[in-house]
Structure 1
């Protein structure tokens, strides 16, 4: 039986990074308002654990984006398919990622996609042409590497 999984990215500002990745991937930021309301009502979540973002309640230290076509739990809006979870950690990024995301674009569209991602706050780290692969290695607004192929 296959396991359900999500990719978790450590960061300083999960709400900001969720916005970046939602735009970069064409995903949607999960709306955790109902989940937070339930936790607040039960006394399990203190007011300092969440903030208001675009009229919705969001966890201060967690945010997630999910593929718009994948199923989601109706009670929490948590994705049940392709999903990135961004979690706040106290330490800054210090070394190269050992795991990264590859974005695959249509043939001939890499340069335009790199420019679009730069407009969202990503930076180009290097151009790579090695072992038959041609791609651009970039960093998201917090320095997490990803490739555009």
Structure 2
């Protein structure tokens, strides 16, 4: 038997804002919501589909330094530089994680400071 990642849960101060940001970044749609969480994922697939969903969960717990886990993303319909500009326009920002400048990826943060990386390779869209 093996496991599969079905959801990634992100504790955040503003689930609405992060759901909007990550939906635009990933081309996801809202799948479910309750008073404290919003789940987003691929349209027509949802939970259990080929890609994991994101659950943005309301939390007032303070963040404690650099996250031990982050998301990597790859563009599907444009080159890395064009995707970088799109992500920055959506509210991402550059972050310094000790890079040298010779890396093939861009370290970024979402509107609440959660780190993620934009990788160079253009990927085929799923589905």
User: How far apart are the structure 1 equivalents of 2:38 and 2:3?
Assistant: 22
For residue 43 of structure 2, the aligned residue among 52, 60, 68 is 68
User: How far apart are the structure 1 equivalents of 2:93 and 2:63?
Assistant: 15
Number of aligned residue pairs: 115
Change (3 A) 1:107 1:26: closer
State the match for 1:40 in structure 2. Answer: none
Note the alpha carbon deviations across 1:125-144, whole angstroms, 9 max, x for none: 149468x8510000000000
Note the alpha carbon deviations across 1:11-50, whole angstroms, 9 max, x for none: 10112111110100011111x3xxxxxxxxxxxxxxxxxx
User: How far apart are the structure 2 equivalents of 1:59 and 1:108?
Assistant: 35
User: How far apart are the structure 2 equivalents of 1:2 and 1:65?
Assistant: 24
Change (3 A) 1:116 1:3: same
User: How far apart are the structure 2 equivalents of 1:92 and 1:121?
Assistant: 21
Question: Greater share of strand residues, 1 or 2?
Answer: 1
Shift of 1:80: 2.2
TM-score w.r.t. the length of structure 2 is: 0.77
State the match for 2:91 in structure 1. Answer: 121
Root-mean-square deviation (Å): 2.4
User: How far apart are the structure 2 equivalents of 1:139 and 1:119?
Assistant: 13
Shift of 1:59: 2.2
Question: Greater share of helix residues, 1 or 2?
Answer: 1
> Of the two, which has the highest radius of gyration?
1
Q: Which residues in structure 2 correspond to 1:46-125 (within 5 Å)?
A: 58-70=33-45, 72=46, 79-81=47-49, 82-105=52-75, 109-125=79-95
